[in-house]
Structure 1
Amino acid sequence: MKKRKGRGPFRAKMYGEGPPKYRNRGNYPPNPRSRLDDDDGDIAMSDAHDTVRPRFNPYSRGGRKRDDRQVRDRGNSHGNTSRDTPHHPRIEPREDKSWYKVTIPHGKKYDKGWLIGLLQSACTLPFTPAGYYCDHSRAHFFVEDSAIAKALKQISRTFTDRENFKVTILICPCPPPEIPKNMADEEIVHVKNCMQKRYDGAQQALNMKSVRTDTDLVENKVDLILNRKTCMQAMLQIIEENVPELLSLDLSSNKLYKLDHMSEIHLKAPNLKILNLSDNLMRSEKELDKIKGLKLEMLWLDGNPLCNAFKDQTVYISAMRERFPKLLRLDGHDLPPPITFDVETPTTLPPCKGSYLATDDIKALVLRFLQHYYTCYDSEDRQGLLNVYHDEACCSLSIPGQNPSRCSLGEYFNRSRNIKRLRDPALRFKLLKHKRLNVVSFLNELPRTQHDLNSFVVDVTAQSVTLLCFVVNGVFKVEGQSNDPVRAFTRVFIAVPGSDGGLLLVNDEQFIRNASTEEIRKAFATPAPTPSSSPVPVLAPVPQDMVQAFSLFSGMNAEWSQKCLQDNGWDFEQAAQIFMKLKAEGKIPEVAFIK
Structure 2
Amino acid sequence: MSFSRQIAQINSVTRNSGNGSSYNSGSNSNYNRSKEDFKAKVISDYHHSRKVSVKQKSRNSRYRVDNRNRGDHDDRDDDDGHGRRAGAKDISKRLGNRDKGKKKHWTDGRVDRRNYAQIDMDEVLYEDETGSDWMRIKMTIPRSESDRPLLFKDEMMKLFHQKIPNFADKDPHCEFENIMFFIPSATAIDVFRHMLDVVKDTKPDNVPPAKWIKLEKMAARTPISARFEVIPNALDTLSEVLGKRYNVSDNSVDLSSFASDTRLNESGMKMNLKNSEDFALLVRVMKNFPIDNISGLNLASNMLRNLQQLVPLLEKTPKITKLNVSGNQLIRNWTDLRYVEEWALEELDIRDTQLAKLVQGRNNLKLSKEARKIFKNLKKFNGRELVASFDLDTSVDKVEKKKPTTQTYDSCLPLNEQLEGPLIKFVTDYISAYDNNREDLFKCYGANALFTLSVGRGVDLSPYRKHQRSIVDHRHLNNSDVEKYRTCHPNTIKRKRLGILACLSELPKTSHDLSSCFLDVTLEVPTIIGFTLTGTFKEPDNGKCRFFSRHILASFTDNTFVINHDQLFIRDSSYSERDLHGKKQPVLPNPRGGAAAEPPADKDAMVKKFMDNSGMVENYSKMCLEQNDWNFNRAAEKFMELKSAGQLPADAWQPGRAP
Structure 1 position 280 matched with structure 2 position 328: yes
Structure 1 position 212 matched with structure 2 position 259: yes
Structure 1 position 193 matched with structure 2 position 251: no
Identity, % of aligned positions: 15
Q: Deviations over 1:88-136 (max 9, x none)?
A: xxxxxx982677765555468484465456568877x966556655445
The one-letter amino acid paired with 1:443 is L
Structure 1 position 442 matched with structure 2 position 503: yes
Structure 1 position 452 matched with structure 2 position 514: yes
Partner of residue 161, structure 1: 203
- Higher RCO structure (Cα 8 Å, ≥6 apart): 2
Partner of residue 180, structure 1: 224
Partner of residue 631, structure 2: none
- The residue correspondences of 1:435-514 to structure 2 (distance < 5 A) are 435-436=495-496, 437-444=498-505, 445-452=507-514, 455-460=517-522, 470-478=530-538, 480=540, 488-495=547-554, 502-514=561-573
User: Is the contact between residue 455 and residue 534 of structure 1 (CA under 8 Å) also seen in structure 2?
Assistant: no
Assess, with a 3 A threshold, how the Cα gap between structure 1 residues 169 and 302 changes in structure 2: closer, same or farther. Answer: closer
Instruction: Note the C-alpha offset of 1:396.
Output: 0.9
User: Is the contact between residue 536 and residue 577 of structure 2 (CA under 8 Å) also seen in structure 1?
Assistant: no
Assess, with a 3 A threshold, how the Cα gap between structure 1 residues 156 and 366 changes in structure 2: closer, same or farther. Answer: closer
The one-letter amino acid paired with 1:180 is I
Instruction: Note the C-alpha offset of 1:246.
Output: 0.8
CA distance in 1, matches of 2:265, 2:318: 31
The one-letter amino acid paired with 1:474 is T
- The residue correspondences of 1:97-496 to structure 2 (distance < 5 A) are 104-106=139-141, 109=145, 111-112=152-153, 114-115=155-156, 128=168, 132-139=172-179, 144=185, 147-148=189-190, 151=193, 155=197, 159-161=201-203, 165=207, 174-177=218-221, 179-182=223-226, 183=228, 184=231, 186-228=233-275, 229-231=277-279, 233-234=281-282, 237-238=285-286, 240-281=288-329, 282-309=331-358, 312=362, 316-332=367-383, 333-339=385-391, 360-361=415-416, 368-369=422-423, 371-379=425-433, 380-386=436-442, 387-389=444-446, 391=448, 393-401=450-458, 403-404=459-460, 418-420=470-472, 421-422=474-475, 428-429=488-489, 432-436=492-496, 437-444=498-505, 445-452=507-514, 455-460=517-522, 470-478=530-538, 480=540, 488-495=547-554
- The residue correspondences of 1:44-83 to structure 2 (distance < 5 A) are none
The one-letter amino acid paired with 1:360 is L
Instruction: Note the C-alpha offset of 1:513.
Output: 4.9
Assess, with a 3 A threshold, how the Cα gap between structure 1 residues 97 and 478 changes in structure 2: closer, same or farther. Answer: same
Partner of residue 590, structure 2: 532
Unaligned runs of 5+ in 1: 1-77, 82-93, 342-347, 537-566, 583-595
User: Is the contact between residue 516 and residue 580 of structure 2 (CA under 8 Å) also seen in structure 1?
Assistant: no
Structure 1 position 96 matched with structure 2 position 150: no
Instruction: Note the C-alpha offset of 1:291.
Output: 1.8
Assess, with a 3 A threshold, how the Cα gap between structure 1 residues 261 and 426 changes in structure 2: closer, same or farther. Answer: closer
Assess, with a 3 A threshold, how the Cα gap between structure 1 residues 206 and 413 changes in structure 2: closer, same or farther. Answer: farther
CA distance in 2, matches of 1:447, 1:318: 58
Q: Deviations over 1:245-264 (max 9, x none)?
A: 11111222222222222111
Instruction: Note the C-alpha offset of 1:480.
Output: 2.7
CA distance in 1, matches of 2:220, 2:420: 67
Assess, with a 3 A threshold, how the Cα gap between structure 1 residues 481 and 505 changes in structure 2: closer, same or farther. Answer: same
User: Is the contact between residue 279 and residue 309 of structure 2 (CA under 8 Å) also seen in structure 1?
Assistant: no
CA distance in 1, matches of 2:366, 2:422: 60
The one-letter amino acid paired with 2:503 is F
User: Is the contact between residue 391 and residue 435 of structure 1 (CA under 8 Å) also seen in structure 2?
Assistant: yes
Assess, with a 3 A threshold, how the Cα gap between structure 1 residues 233 and 155 changes in structure 2: closer, same or farther. Answer: closer
Q: Deviations over 1:215-257 (max 9, x none)?
A: 4445555423223433553356346524431111122222222
User: Is the contact between residue 130 and residue 141 of structure 1 (CA under 8 Å) also seen in structure 2?
Assistant: yes
What's the Cα RMSD here? 5.2
CA distance in 2, matches of 1:515, 1:478: 13
CA distance in 1, matches of 2:214, 2:556: 60
Determine which structure has more spread, i.e. the larger CA radius of gyration.
2
Unaligned runs of 5+ in 2: 1-107, 112-126, 146-150, 394-403, 476-481, 595-636, 649-659
User: Comparing both structures, which one devotes a greater share of its residues to helix?
Assistant: 2
Give 3-state SS (helix, strand or coil) of 1:458's partner. strand
Instruction: Note the C-alpha offset of 1:204.
Output: 1.1
CA distance in 1, matches of 2:313, 2:338: 12
CA distance in 2, matches of 1:98, 1:79: 34
